[in-house]
DNA sequence: CTGAAAGCGCTTACAG
DNA sequence: CTGAAAGCGCTTACAG
C-alpha cells in the first residue's frame, strides 16, 4: 500500500501543501471550511504524518527514550519497571508520543546510547532511572542539553528536575511501626549500594533507629543486588546470627518473598518468629502466605507524573522537581509483635 | 550543543556529502584512504546520522515496534514479557535498532497503532504477540505490507512468519510425568481462552488425557485472565469440588504461586495432597516453598530469535516460520506421587 | 486567507 | 573514484 502524504491531501482538496500542514496542526492561516475539508480528507484516507519528515523539518521526533541499566534477570521479575513503563506509556500515548526502550549493560553503555539518540535526533527527551551517587549520566545529559527528567531525587540530580517521593519518611514510618509492635532488633536488606535511593534509605534507617534508641549492632543493613538469590543469602546470614533480628525490611518485593521462604525453611514462623516488610508493594506480595506487609506507592501514577514533566520540558516549559505522595505502609499478615522466646 | 552532520564531516575532509555517506555506509565509491579519513573524523566529532533524515531518504527507520495488549496489572507481574523484551533488545541493539514500545487497551487500539506507525514510517516492522484465534491484526498487517513476525504460531499466522515452539508436546510431557507419578485427576488453569496458544494447550491437554485413559470429568481446564486473583479463584473452585484434582497445571507462574498459597490455606500440603506445575518457569518459581516444578524455556533466546527473523524480513529476505526448542519440564519440590487418603 | 519556495540531513542514481 | 543534484515529506517564514 502506498502511504498517503500531505501532497495527496492537497491535491484532493485543491489547496497547497502548506495549507494542509496548517490545517492539520491547528495553525492559523486557513479558513474554517477549508480546514474542515482537509481534516475530513485526511481522516478518510487514513493519513498519519511521517514522523521522519516531521522530525527533519525541525519539529519534534515525538518520542522519548528510556534506557534501563539493570541486569536482565532483575528486570524480568521486578514488577516496578513494568508498572513504571505502563504509567509512562499511558501519558505518552494520550499525546501520541512513542516510547523508545533500550536495555543496556552498564552506565557507560547508557551514556553512549544517550549520545547516539541525541545525534540521531531520535528522541526529544529521556527519563533517567536508578539515579546513582555521583551519577556520571547527569552531566552528560546537561551538556547535551537533551531534555531529561530523573525518576528519583531530589538530591544528586544536578540541574535536571526529578520526580521523587520522601523515602526517608516512608522508612521512618515503617521502623516506628515495627518498634511500636515491640521489635528492637530490626534488620534491613538494602538494594544496590551505589543507587542514590538506597543511600537515602540507609541513612534514614540509621537515623530513625538512633532516634528510637535501638542498638546500632541490632539494626544493620545488608546490601544486595535485588535478586531473589541475593535476598535469600542475606536472610540466611541475618537469621544465623547469634542475636538474630525479629524483623527484616527488604528493599524490593522479590527479596522479601525469598526471605519469607528462607525463614520458613529455617523453621521460623512468619510473623511469629520474624516479621517481614517489602518495599515496594506489588501483586506478588498478596500472593504469598502470609501476605506481605509492604510499602505501597502508586507506581504507574509515578511514571505518569515523570512522563508529564518530561513532555513539559520538551515543550520548552521550565520545569522544577516534583514531589509525589509518600509511600504508606500497608500492614498484612507478615508483621506482628515479636514472640519472646 | 550543535549536532554534527555529514556536511560538517565533508567540509573537514574536503570531500562531498555523497562521499561521506558512501564511506559511512560501507558502500563502494570512495577510496580506502578517504574512507578511513572520513570515519576517523566522524568518530572524532561523535557523529550519529540523523535517524529522521535517514528514514526520510528511503532508508530504514531502524526501529521496530512492539505493541502490548494485556491489562497493565498483568503485564507488570508476569516475567514473560520482560524476558522477551530483554531478548529482543539484545538482538536489536547489536544492530543498533531501536525498540518502540506501546501499551494498548485492546486489539482495536493495537490495530490503530499499527496503522499509525505505518503511516508515520516510524518502525520498519513489528513483533506481534499474544496471537488470538481468528486474529484481526494479521490481515491488517498483511494488507499494510508492514514486515511482521508473530511470536507464536505456527497456525493462525496467515502469511506472516511465526516463531513458535511445540506447546502440545510440552504439555503432553507434563501430563505423562504426572500420570507416571500416579495422578489420575489432573486439572488445568488455562490462560485467556481467546489466545491461540491457550487453545493449542487446551486441545493438547484433552488429547493426551484421552490417550492416557484419564476420565474426562477429572481433567478439566478452567479459564483465567492470568492474574493471581483469578488463579486463586480457579484453584479454590477446583479444590472445593467433591472429586478434587491431585495435580494442577497453571498457564503462568503467577497463578501457580497463587494456587500454591490457596492450597496451603485450605489445609492441603504441596506436594502431598496436591502437585503444582507452572508454565512458564521463572525465578519466582524458585523463590516459593516448595519451589515449583515448571515448564522451562529460554525466553530471552526466544525473543532474540523473533527479533532476528524480523530484521531479516525488514531486510527483504523471504523468511519462513521458525520452530524453537520445545520447553522441558524442570521437576522441583511441588510435584510428587499423590497421597492416597 | 493562500500559494510558492526554501530547508531540515540524509541517500542514491547520474555524470564526469 | 568523486562531485553536483534531486528527492524523501514535512514545516515555516515570505510574498501575494
pLDDT given at position B341: 54
pLDDT given at position B29: 80
Nucleotide D5, nearest residue via CA and C1': B18
Question: Which residue of chain A comes nearest to B255, CA vs CA?
Answer: A287
Whether residue A3 lies within 8 A of chain B, CB to CB, comes out as: yes
Asked if domains B63-165+299-323 and B167-295 share a fold, the reply is yes
In angstroms, the CA of B211 and the C1' of C10 are apart by 62
Backbone angles phi, psi at A242, to 5 degrees: -60, -55
Element (H, E) at A328: strand A328-330
pLDDT given at position B1: 66
- Round the CA-based radius of gyration of chain B to a whole number and report it: 25
Strand order in the sheet with B328-330: B221-222, B186-189, B247-250, B275-279, B293-296, B328-330
When comparing pLDDT for B25 and A204, which is higher? A204
Q: How far apart are the first and last CA of chain A?
A: 76
Arithmetic mean of pLDDT, A90-107: 90
Question: Residues of chain B whose pLDDT is less than 70?
Answer: 1, 71-76, 340-341
Residue A144, pLDDT > 70, answer yes
pLDDT given at position A73: 61
Whether residue B58 lies within 8 A of chain A, CB to CB, comes out as: no
Arithmetic mean of pLDDT, A191-204: 96
When comparing pLDDT for A67 and A26, which is higher? A67
A325 Cβ within 7 A of any nucleic strand D atom? no
In sign, the C-alpha dihedral spanning A236, A237, A240, A245 is negative
Arithmetic mean of pLDDT, A178-200: 97
Comparing CA positions, the residue from A194, A200, A250, A256 lying closest to residue A222 is: A250
**Minimum-distance CB partner of B79 among A76, A145, A227:** A76
Nucleotide C13, nearest residue via CA and C1': B18
Residue A1, pLDDT > 80, answer no
Query: Model confidence over B280-319: pLDDT tens digits?
Result: 999 999 999 999 999 999 999 999 999 999 999 998 888 9
CB contact under 8 A, A261 and B72: no
Are A115 and A145 in contact by the 8 Å Cβ rule? The answer is: no
* Assigned architecture for domain A6-49: Orthogonal Bundle (1.10)
Cα separation, A294 vs A327, in Å, equals 10
Partner B, chain A 209-238, Cβ-Cβ below 8 Å: 227-228, 232
In angstroms, the CA of A25 and the C1' of D11 are apart by 10
Query: Model confidence over A207-254: pLDDT tens digits?
Result: 999 999 999 999 999 999 999 999 999 999 999 999 999 999 999 999
Of A98, A230, A297, which to mutate for an interface test with B (greatest number of B Cβ within 10 Å)? Answer: A98
Spelled out in words, what is the top-level CATH class assigned to the domain B63-165+299-323? alpha beta
Joined grid coordinates for residue A68 = 534501563
pLDDT given at position B237: 97
Q: Could you tell me the pLDDT band of residue A30, with boundaries at 50, 70 and 90?
A: confident
Residues 6+ apart with CB under 8 A from A170: A279, A295, A326, A327, A328, A329
Within 8 A of B45 by CB-CB distance, chain A residues are none
B32 Cβ within 7 A of any nucleic strand D atom? yes
CB contact under 8 A, B49 and A120: yes
* Assigned architecture for domain A167-296: 3-Layer(aba) Sandwich (3.40)
Cα separation, B284 vs B299, in Å, equals 14
SS3 A145: coil
A24 Cβ within 7 A of any nucleic strand D atom? yes
Joined grid coordinates for residue A70 = 539493570
pLDDT given at position A74: 67
Cα separation, A113 vs B19, in Å, equals 26
Across chain A, what does the average pLDDT equal?
A: 93
Q: Give a three-class secondary structure readout of chain B.
A: CCCCCHHHHHHHHCCCHHHHHHHHCCCCCCCHHHHHHHHHHHHHCCCCCCHHHHHHCCCCCCEEEEEECCCHHHHHHCHHHHHHHHHHHHHHHHCCCEEEEEECCCHHHHHHHHHHHHHHCCCCEEEECCCECCCCHHHHHHHHCCCEEEECCCCCCCCCCEEECCHHHHHHHHHHHHHHHCCCCEEEECCCCCEHHHHHHHHHHHHHHHHCCCCHHHCCEECCCCCHHHHHHHHHHHHHCCCCCCEEEECCHHHHHHHHHHHHHCCCCCCCCCEEEEECCCHHHHHCCCCCEEEECCHHHHHHHHHHHHHHHHCCCCCCCEECCCCEEECCCCCCCCCCC
CB atoms within 10 A of CB B99: 22
Of B283, B287, B290, B304, which to mutate for an interface test with A (greatest number of A Cβ within 10 Å)? Answer: B287
pLDDT given at position A211: 97
Nucleotide D4, nearest residue via CA and C1': B16
CB contact under 8 A, B51 and A79: no
Measured CA to CA in angstroms, residue A257 lies from A61, A78, B170, B264 at distances of: 42, 12, 29, 16
Q: Could you tell me the pLDDT band of residue A33, with boundaries at 50, 70 and 90?
A: confident
Within 8 A of B228 by CB-CB distance, chain A residues are 283-284, 286-287
Query: Model confidence over A291-308: pLDDT tens digits?
Result: 999 999 999 999 999 999
The ranges assigned to domains in chain B are 6-49, 63-165+299-323, 167-295
Cα separation, A126 vs A116, in Å, equals 12
| CATH assignment, B167-295 | 3.40.50.2300
pLDDT given at position A72: 62
Report the percent of chain A where pLDDT is more than 70: 97
Residues 6+ apart with CB under 8 A from A141: A114, A126, A128, A148, A160
Question: Which residue of chain A comes nearest to B288, CA vs CA?
Answer: A261
Element (H, E) at A51: helix A51-56
Of A135-144, A267-276, B80-89, the least confident: B80-89
Question: Which residue of chain A comes nearest to B49, CA vs CA?
Answer: A120
A62 Cβ within 7 A of any nucleic strand D atom? no
Q: Could you tell me the pLDDT band of residue A341, with boundaries at 50, 70 and 90?
A: low
Residue A320, pLDDT > 60, answer yes
Comparing CA positions, the residue from B244, B253, B339, B338 lying closest to residue B291 is: B253
Amino acid at each position: 500500500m502506498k502511504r498517503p502524504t500531505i501532497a495527496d491531501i492537497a491535491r484532493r482538496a485543491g489547496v497547497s501543501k502548506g495549507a494542509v500542514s496548517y490545517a492539520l496542526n491547528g495553525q492559523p492561516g486557513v479558513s474554517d471550511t477549508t480546514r474542515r475539508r482537509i481534516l475530513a480528507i485526511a481522516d478518510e484516507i487514513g493519513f498519519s504524518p511521517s514522523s521522519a519528515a516531521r522530525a527533519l523539518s525541525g519539529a519534534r521526533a515525538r518520542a522519548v527514550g528510556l534506557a534501563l541499566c539493570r541486569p536482565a534477570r532483575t528486570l524480568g521479575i521486578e514488577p516496578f519497571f513494568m508498572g513504571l513503563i505502563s504509567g509512562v506509556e499511558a501519558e505518552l500515548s494520550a499525546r501520541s508520543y512513542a516510547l523508545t526502550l533500550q536495555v543496556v549493560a552498564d552506565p557507560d553503555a547508557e551514556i553512549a546510547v544517550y549520545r547516539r539518540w541525541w545525534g540521531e535526533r531520535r528522541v526529544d527527551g529521556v527519563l533517567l532511572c536508578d539515579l546513582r551517587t555521583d551519577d556520571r549520566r547527569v552531566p552528560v545529559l546537561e551538556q547535551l542539553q537533551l531534555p531529561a527528567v530523573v525518576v528519583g531525587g531530589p538530591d544528586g540530580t544536578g540541574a535536571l528536575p526529578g520526580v521523587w517521593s520522601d523515602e526517608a519518611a516512608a522508612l521512618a514510618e515503617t521502623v516506628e511501626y515495627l518498634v511500636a509492635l515491640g521489635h528492637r532488633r530490626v534488620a534491613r536488606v538494602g538494594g544496590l549500594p551505589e543507587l542514590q535511593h538506597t543511600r537515602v534509605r540507609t541513612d534514614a534507617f540509621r537515623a530513625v533507629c538512633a532516634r528510637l534508641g535501638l542498638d546500632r549492632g541490632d539494626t544493620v543493613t545488608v546490601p544486595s543486588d535485588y535478586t531473589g538469590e541475593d535476598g535469600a543469602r542475606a536472610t540466611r546470614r541475618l537469621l544465623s546470627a547469634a542475636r538474630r533480628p525479629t524483623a527484616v525490611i527488604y528493599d524490593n518485593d522479590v527479596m522479601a518473598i525469598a526471605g519469607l521462604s528462607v525463614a520458613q525453611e529455617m523453621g521460623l514462623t512468619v510473623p511469629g518468629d520474624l516479621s517481614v516488610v517489602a518495599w515496594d508493594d506489588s501483586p506478588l506480595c498478596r500472593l504469598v502466605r502470609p501476605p506481605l506487609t509492604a510499602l505501597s506507592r502508586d507506581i504507574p501514577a509515578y511514571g505518569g507524573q515523570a512522563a508529564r514533566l518530561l513532555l513539559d520540558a520538551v515543550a520548552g516549559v521550565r520545569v522544577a522537581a516534583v514531589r509525589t505522595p509518600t509511600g504508606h505502609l500497608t500492614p498484612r499478615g507478615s508483621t506482628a509483635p515479636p514472640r519472646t522466646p
